[in-house]
């Protein structure tokens, strides 16, 4: 299955790895960016007074770890993923309810005593339900905020437009509602007809009724494992057919990738004789038939010969000697020769034009036609015939026969002219039709290339988001790069990192605190013994401010704003801030910067690749 993940980047990357292990392909399209907030001023006092902490999401566990160094308070987590995240951040005594808010409330009621003190609920700005059990005092503190994206992510837009999604997953009612809004705004609602929607709960499935999904399923239990099980139960996806000319593309500007392997090899089309071949064969056949008729004329019945030659003019009355009009005969010969020359030129020109209309025809076009050569020989024979010296009855017969031959040749020339004209008109029409057909083929080919490019770009983008290799996906672009320098540039830019992939945004965000700690230690250390000692201590234990609202140009302030930018998904801003740090911090920041810049460079190349695919689709309209 090709699965669309709408969760924030951290959770999406983890889910993508699990789906990959099950044989599915993930397309990551976060609809929200998590922003860690500053805790309230009385948060330390609230933390000290509570008997346990309730955490209803993995983001809540991360925000709690940012807000306090306290790790000894008991943690009650809503599910196994949240519990594992809290344990990974160093919290002790973590217990999982393996369910929803109601399951968490039941677990707290069984394990804790209301008389032992209040409970502290760490949550985001928007919560779906309260885990507060009856009889307990629960104080809620907001430590993070999930900010909705303004538009549908490019990865989701391209994959949906290319009909390259089989399943879409939704882990909260808010995510489902946001997806409906963004897909409708992008004009891609119709692309959901072949997509199965899997929601973590009936509440999360309810907003999805506004889109024409093939099916909408709510997981049996509100856990990630239950969602994965529902995906495995779905029937195998059928062959996805495009709806529009390309023809696997919606009229949307974005059109895939298609996460299935793209066979971009262009198969040559074998044609028959073609227009030029048909024209030349027809012309040669007409000339041969005409020549055969002329050569066999003496053997025809007299009636047939009279019909062919037409009425023979009676010789002018003469008392004794026939008057031979040699000037008229010479003029007829010259006219006939000129007509033969003109006809041969026209035949050659028509053959050349036909060959140009169909370059695949390799027949020679400059060889003189045998029928025309035969006609020319007949005329030369007539010219070289010796003139009679005496006024005899044979002279009358020869003169009459000569005139008849000239008349017959003129008729034959007219017939051949008409044949050539008709064939030329047919060639012109066929050439126009072939030109139109070629233009349509070019548009269809451009649309197919554009769809394939967008699909490949979506696959590579998903690999970048998950931090996975994408050499196989990049190899699909090789056939499309033939004859197009732009695709060659994209391949050159992505090839160095394709085998191993680049660091994902989630891993860059996870490694930022350690880098920031080392950078602050290097910034404080100088050549004095005490400063070096202070730097060493700072590298082991450091307290620093965090958040996007930390003002100032100090190393601590810039690192705080950079970390907030990374967590919000704004990696370019984070890189810019880290680059602006003093030179003494370069040793600590070099590795992180190199990985972040590699990610940005690869993402930029993929974005340009997708834009090129969209341009190809636009040119096919």
Give 94-147 as a DSSP string: EEE-SS-HHHHHHHHHHH--GGG--EEEEEESS-S---PPTT--EEEEEEEEEE
The residue among 37, 34, 142 whose CA lies nearest residue 549 is 37
3-state secondary structure 509-555: HHHHHHHHHHHHHHHHCCCCHHHHHHHHHHHHCCCCCCCCCCCCCCH
Residues 6 or more apart whose CB falls under 8 angstroms from that of 66 comprise 36, 143, 546
Residue 497 domain-assigned? no
- Got the DSSP string for 391-452? --HHHHHHHHHHHHHHHHHHHHHHHHHHHHHHHHHHHHHHHHHHHHHHHHHHHHHHHHHHHH
Burial class (CB in 10 A: 0-12, 13-18, 19+), 227: buried
Pair 42, 26 in one domain: no
Q: Is 212 within 8 Å of 193 (Cβ atoms)?
A: yes
Q: How confident is the model at residue 438 (pLDDT cuts 50, 70, 90)?
A: low
In the chain, the number of structural domains is 4
Q: Percent of the chain, pLDDT > 90?
A: 13
Q: Percent of the chain, pLDDT > 70?
A: 63
**Coil, helix or strand at residue 34:** strand
Q: How confident is the model at residue 258 (pLDDT cuts 50, 70, 90)?
A: very low
Residues 6 or more apart whose CB falls under 8 angstroms from that of 483 comprise none
Q: What is the CATH number of the domain that holds 23?
A: 3.40.50.10090
Residue 539 domain-assigned? yes
Q: How confident is the model at residue 321 (pLDDT cuts 50, 70, 90)?
A: very low
In this model, does residue 422 exceed pLDDT 80? no
Q: In angstroms, rounded to a whole number, what is the distance separating the alpha carbons of residues 587 and 218?
A: 50
Q: How confident is the model at residue 613 (pLDDT cuts 50, 70, 90)?
A: confident
Pair 113, 193 in one domain: no
Residue 104 domain-assigned? yes
Q: In angstroms, rounded to a whole number, what is the distance separating the alpha carbons of residues 231 and 25?
A: 12
Give the pLDDT score at 198: 95
Burial class (CB in 10 A: 0-12, 13-18, 19+), 329: middle
Q: In angstroms, rounded to a whole number, what is the distance separating the alpha carbons of residues 520 and 470?
A: 35
Pair 160, 213 in one domain: yes
Give the pLDDT score at 57: 86
Range of the domain at 113: 34-148
**Coil, helix or strand at residue 79:** coil
Give the pLDDT score at 387: 52
Pair 16, 48 in one domain: no
Q: How confident is the model at residue 474 (pLDDT cuts 50, 70, 90)?
A: confident
Q: In angstroms, rounded to a whole number, what is the distance separating the alpha carbons of residues 375 and 344?
A: 11
In this model, does residue 370 exceed pLDDT 70? no
Residue 489 domain-assigned? no
Q: In angstroms, rounded to a whole number, what is the distance separating the alpha carbons of residues 310 and 295?
A: 17
Higher pLDDT, 592 or 133: 592
Pair 122, 167 in one domain: no
Pair 137, 187 in one domain: no
How does pLDDT run across 148-161, given as a tens digit for each residue?
888 888 888 888 88
Residues 6 or more apart whose CB falls under 8 angstroms from that of 5 comprise 12, 15, 16, 19, 26, 27, 28, 29, 169
In this model, does residue 246 exceed pLDDT 80? no
Q: How confident is the model at residue 271 (pLDDT cuts 50, 70, 90)?
A: very low
Q: How confident is the model at residue 614 (pLDDT cuts 50, 70, 90)?
A: confident
Pair 527, 417 in one domain: no
The residue among 358, 372, 375 whose CA lies nearest residue 279 is 358
Averaged pLDDT, 84-100 = 87
Sign of CA dihedral 129, 131, 133, 135: negative
How does pLDDT run across 486-519, given as a tens digit for each residue?
777 888 888 898 888 888 888 888 888 888 888 8
Q: Is 61 within 8 Å of 84 (Cβ atoms)?
A: no
Q: Is 72 within 8 Å of 131 (Cβ atoms)?
A: no
Q: How confident is the model at residue 541 (pLDDT cuts 50, 70, 90)?
A: very low
Averaged pLDDT, 467-481 = 80
Pair 527, 601 in one domain: yes
Question: Which uninterrupted H or E stretch holds 27?
Answer: strand 25-28
Pair 222, 287 in one domain: no
Residues 6 or more apart whose CB falls under 8 angstroms from that of 188 comprise 152, 157, 160, 161, 250, 252
Mean pLDDT of the chain: 76
How does pLDDT run across 544-565, given as a tens digit for each residue?
566 667 778 888 888 888 888 8
- Got the DSSP string for 290-323? HHHHHHTGGGS-HHHHHHHH-PPPPPPP-SSS--
In this model, does residue 416 exceed pLDDT 70? no
Residue 268 domain-assigned? no
Give the pLDDT score at 89: 87
Q: In angstroms, rounded to a whole number, what is the distance separating the alpha carbons of residues 450 and 437?
A: 20
Higher pLDDT, 176 or 262: 176
Q: In angstroms, rounded to a whole number, what is the distance separating the alpha carbons of residues 263 and 479?
A: 9
How does pLDDT run across 35-59, given as a tens digit for each residue?
888 889 889 888 888 989 999 888 8
Residue 366 domain-assigned? yes
Pair 97, 179 in one domain: no
In this model, does residue 588 exceed pLDDT 50? yes
Residues 6 or more apart whose CB falls under 8 angstroms from that of 211 comprise 179, 180, 183, 184, 189, 192, 197
Q: How confident is the model at residue 253 (pLDDT cuts 50, 70, 90)?
A: very low
Averaged pLDDT, 567-572 = 88
Residues 6 or more apart whose CB falls under 8 angstroms from that of 402 comprise 329, 382, 385
Q: How confident is the model at residue 290 (pLDDT cuts 50, 70, 90)?
A: confident
Give the pLDDT score at 621: 63
Pair 108, 159 in one domain: no
Q: Which of 420, 436, 452 is the last residue of a domain?
A: 436
Give the pLDDT score at 251: 36
Tokens of 102: 């109601």
Q: How confident is the model at residue 249 (pLDDT cuts 50, 70, 90)?
A: very low
Residue 343 domain-assigned? yes
Residues 6 or more apart whose CB falls under 8 angstroms from that of 180 comprise 207, 208, 210, 211
Tokens of 536: 């060493």
Rounded to a whole number of angstroms, the CA Rg of the chain reads 43
Averaged pLDDT, 329-352 = 67
Residue length of the chain: 621
Residue 577 domain-assigned? yes
Q: In angstroms, rounded to a whole number, what is the distance separating the alpha carbons of residues 130 and 326?
A: 121
Pair 312, 432 in one domain: yes
Tokens of 201: 């709960």
Q: How confident is the model at residue 332 (pLDDT cuts 50, 70, 90)?
A: low
In this model, does residue 385 exceed pLDDT 80? no
């Amino acid at each position: 299955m090709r699965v669309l993940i709408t969760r924030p980047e951290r959770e999406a990357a983890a889910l993508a790895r699990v789906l990959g292990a099950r044989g599915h392909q993930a397309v990551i399209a976060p609809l929200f960016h998590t922003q860690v907030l500053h805790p309230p001023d009385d948060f330390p006092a609230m933390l000290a007074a509570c008997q346990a902490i309730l955490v209803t999401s993995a983001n809540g566990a991360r925000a709690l770890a940012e807000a306090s160094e306290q790790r000894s308070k008991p943690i009650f987590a809503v599910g196994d993923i949240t519990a594992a995240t809290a344990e990974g951040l160093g919290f002790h005594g973590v217990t999982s309810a393996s369910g929803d808010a109601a399951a968490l409330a039941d677990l707290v009621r069984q394990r804790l005593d209301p008389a032992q003190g209040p409970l502290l609920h760490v949550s985001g700005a928007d919560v779906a339900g309260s885990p507060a059990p009856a009889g307990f005092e629960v104080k809620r503190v907001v430590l993070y905020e999930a900010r909705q994206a303004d538009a549908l992510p490019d990865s989701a837009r391209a994959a949906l437009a290319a009909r390259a999604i089989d399943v879409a997953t939704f882990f909260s009612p808010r995510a489902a509602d946001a997806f409906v809004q963004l897909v409708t705004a992008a004009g891609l609602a119709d692309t959901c007809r072949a997509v199965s929607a899997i929601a973590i709960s009936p509440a999360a499935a309810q907003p999805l009724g506004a889109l024409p999904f093939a099916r909408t399923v709510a997981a049996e239990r509100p856990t990630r494992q239950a969602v994965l099980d529902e995906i495995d139960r779905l029937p195998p996806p059928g062959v996805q057919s495009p709806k529009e000319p390309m023809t696997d593309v919606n009229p949307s500007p974005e059109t895939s990738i298609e996460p299935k392997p793209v066979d971009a090899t262009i198969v040559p089309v074998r044609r028959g004789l073609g227009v030029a071949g048909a024209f030349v064969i027809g012309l040669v056949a007409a000339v041969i038939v005409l020549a055969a008729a002329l050569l066999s004329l003496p053997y025809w019945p007299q009636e047939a010969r009279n019909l062919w030659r037409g009425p023979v003019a009676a010789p002018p009355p003469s008392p004794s000697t026939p008057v031979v009009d040699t000037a008229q005969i010479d003029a007829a010969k010259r006219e006939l020769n000129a007509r033969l020359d003109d006809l041969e030129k026209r035949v050659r020109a028509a053959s050349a034009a036909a060959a140009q209309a169909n370059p695949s025809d390799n027949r020679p076009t400059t060889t003189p036609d045998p029928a025309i050569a035969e006609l020319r020989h007949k005329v030369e024979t007539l010219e070289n015939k010796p003139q009679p010296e005496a006024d005899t009855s044979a002279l009358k017969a020869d003169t009459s026969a000569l005139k008849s031959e000239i008349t017959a040749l003129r008729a034959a020339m007219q017939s051949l002219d008409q044949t050539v004209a008709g064939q030329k008109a047919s060639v012109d029409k066929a050439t126009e039709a072939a030109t139109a057909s070629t233009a349509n083929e070019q548009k269809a080919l451009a649309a197919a290339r554009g769809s394939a490019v967008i699909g490949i770009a979506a696959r590579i983008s998903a690999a970048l988001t998950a931090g996975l290799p994408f050499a196989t996906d990049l190899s699909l672009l090789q056939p499309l790069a033939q004859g197009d320098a732009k695709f060659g540039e994209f391949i050159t830019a992505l090839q160095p990192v394709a085998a191993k992939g680049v660091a994902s945004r989630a891993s860059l965000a996870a490694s930022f605190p350690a880098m920031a700690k080392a950078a602050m230690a290097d910034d404080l250390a100088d050549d004095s013994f005490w400063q070096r000692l202070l730097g060493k201590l700072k590298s082991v234990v450091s307290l620093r401010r965090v958040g996007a609202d930390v003002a100032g140009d100090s190393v601590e302030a810039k690192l705080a704003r950079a970390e907030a930018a990374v967590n919000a998904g704004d990696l370019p801003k984070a890189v810019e801030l880290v680059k602006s740090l003093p030179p003494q911090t370069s040793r600590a920041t070099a590795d992180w910067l190199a990985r972040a810049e590699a990610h940005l460079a690869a993402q930029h190349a993929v974005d340009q690749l997708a834009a090129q695919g969209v341009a190809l689709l636009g040119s096919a309209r």
